[in-house]
Amino acid sequence: MKSFLVDQDGYYGEFGGAYVPEILHKCVEELKNTYLEVLESEEFKKEFDQLLRDYVGRPSPLYPARRLSEKYGCKLYLKREDLNHTGAHKINNTIGQILLARRMGKKRIIAETGAGQHGVATATVCALMNMECIVYMGKTDVERQHINVEKMKMLGATVIPVTSGNMTLKDATNEAIRDWCCHPSDTYYIIGSTVGPHPYPDMVARLQSVISKEIKKQLLEKEGRDHPDYLIACVGGGSNAAGTIYHFINDERINIVLAEAGGKGIETGMTAATIQLGKMGIIHGARTYVIQDEDGQIEEPYSISAGLDYPGIGPIHANLAAQKRATVLAVNDDEAIEAAYELTKLEGIIPALESAHALGALKKMKFKADDIVVLTVSGRGDKDVETYLAFND
Ligand SMILES: Cc1ncc(COP(=O)(O)O)c(C=O)c1O
């Protein structure tokens, strides 16, 4: 049977792999040779599941959104990752990776962050496990997501503002990789999305797969069948989407819809719609679609949403798009904002700007009345309230 999951060599079709500088080769090999054994051990699973339950508050609810369902003419459920401790799906992954780092004897944790949700989640688990934590964040994002910066500091992390490029997620990731190159032996790099060299995309997808595991069980309870007709999620690097689709990925009855950031419009040059505009390239250790110029230089992406403002895309999603297993929609800044206000008014839920892009996809789709649609609300909107208000001024 055709599989859309990773193959033995770390590829999804022609996407993925591990393209790293020589100095990191050993670290990546060590991780590759360790992660599956650890993630599949009973001892790890027990500790991970217990923390997801008692610390994160899982399972997250699958909420039947009545008024939104009426509006879009389908049975719409929201997977409420916004209700997790620290306010987004990112904590599922950081808990898993910190448990792995501890088992590998690493003492120093580094991370990159865009919206700050992965930074906050990493700082949180470092506080919990008493580990040193350094977070790289583009200066633009430090400014637009300053509440998260204060939280990281309060949690004891060192936040390093990055001033290269357009000072967003790509630049923060570059800096984190540079740090890793300087401290390969004692440092563990917690990547926050399904990006980076193999085994990161697969490891992050597995750690986030709890989302789809729960959706299956919750749908069976609520609808008497364990699968929806549609799954919708936003994609920055792709981790909340990977978690949402993981256990459904090879079941082609289910339509997968990925919402990427159109920015000011995909034809304007101010966009982060990587899957639609990217060409094959290498970014942060993986072969995938990259927004680049004719000389192969990475172009600066743009999105109002710091978490989607990335010129690459996880190889798992690049392959889904290339194989036409997923439908990819670009949702522009204004469409996302409108969708965020709509959710707030109809359901009393203020979503993160990233999640608002998934909601913005609804307007671009046509459903049948009995279609079961599950949309992942990847995070809550507390960090974005100022942006929402400023946009509507
Ligand atoms: C709430 C939220 N959703 C989505 C994303 C995008 O990341 P990913 O595509 O890995 O889920 C981010 C990234 O910061 C985020 O904070």
Instruction: State what percent of residues in the chain have pLDDT above 70.
Output: 100
Pair 110, 179: CB distance under 8 Å = yes
- To which residue do tokens 């929402």 refer? 388
Q: Which of 271, 249, 250 is nearest to 335 (CA)?
A: 271
Between CA 238 and CA 216 the distance in angstroms is 20
Model confidence at 271, in pLDDT bands (50, 70, 90)? Answer: very high
Between CA 264 and CA 337 the distance in angstroms is 12
Question: Whole-prediction pTM value?
Answer: 0.98
Between CA 356 and CA 23 the distance in angstroms is 39
The pLDDT of residue 187 is 97
How far does residue 308's CA lie from ligand 1's centre (Å)? 7
Is the pLDDT score of 25 beyond 80? yes
Positive or negative: CA dihedral 255, 258, 262, 267:
negative
* Ligand 1 atom closest to 169 (CA): 14
Domain definitions of the chain by residue range: 18-51+90-199, 57-88+209-392
Residue 388: how many other CB atoms lie within 10 Å? 18
Positive or negative: CA dihedral 84, 303, 298, 314:
positive
- Beta-strand relationship, 326-332 and 11-12: unpaired
The pLDDT of residue 171 is 95
CA distances from 123 to 105, 128, 210, 375 (A): 18, 9, 21, 28
Residue 216: how many other CB atoms lie within 10 Å? 15
Between CA 146 and CA 151 the distance in angstroms is 9
DSSP 53-87: IIII-PSPPEEE-HHHHHHHTSEEEEEEGGGSGGG
Q: Which residues contact 205 (CB under 8 A, 6 or more apart)?
A: 6, 194, 239, 242, 243, 246, 314, 316
User: Nearest 5°: phi and psi at 109?
Assistant: -110, 135
Q: Which of 354, 298, 358, 293 is nearest to 326 (CA)?
A: 358
How far does residue 192's CA lie from ligand 1's centre (Å)? 8
Pick the residue whose CA is nearest to atom 6 on ligand 1: 236
Which 3 state secondary structure label does DSSP give 163?
coil
**Same topology between domain 18-51+90-199 and domain 57-88+209-392:** yes
pLDDT tens by residue, 334-393: 999 999 999 999 999 999 999 999 999 999 999 999 999 999 999 999 999 999 999 877
How far does residue 92's CA lie from ligand 1's centre (Å)? 12
- CATH among 3.40.50.1100, 3.40.50.300, 1.10.3720.10, 3.90.550.10 for 57-88+209-392: 3.40.50.1100
Active site residues: 90, 112, 378
Q: Would you say the CB of residue 195 lies under 6 angstroms from ligand 1?
A: no
Between CA 202 and CA 315 the distance in angstroms is 10
Please compute the mean of the pLDDT values over residues 320-325 and round it to a whole number.
98
- To which residue do tokens 């392959």 refer? 319
Please compute the mean of the pLDDT values over residues 208-226 and round it to a whole number.
98
Pick the residue whose CA is nearest to atom 1 on ligand 1: 379
Q: Which residues contact 2 (CB under 8 A, 6 or more apart)?
A: 250
Pick the residue whose CA is nearest to atom 15 on ligand 1: 307
Q: What type of residue is 207?
A: L
How far does residue 224's CA lie from ligand 1's centre (Å)? 30
CA distances from 286 to 19, 188, 191, 237 (A): 6, 18, 13, 12
* Ligand 1 atom closest to 208 (CA): 11
Q: Would you say the CB of residue 381 lies under 6 angstroms from ligand 1?
A: no
* Ligand 1 atom closest to 239 (CA): 10
Positive or negative: CA dihedral 56, 127, 38, 111:
positive
Q: What type of residue is 260?
A: E
Largest CA distance in the chain: 56
Please compute the mean of the pLDDT values over residues 266-279 and round it to a whole number.
97
Class of domain 18-51+90-199: alpha beta
pLDDT tens by residue, 95-130: 999 999 999 999 899 999 998 999 999 999 999 999
Q: Which of 233, 333, 331 is nearest to 273 (CA)?
A: 331
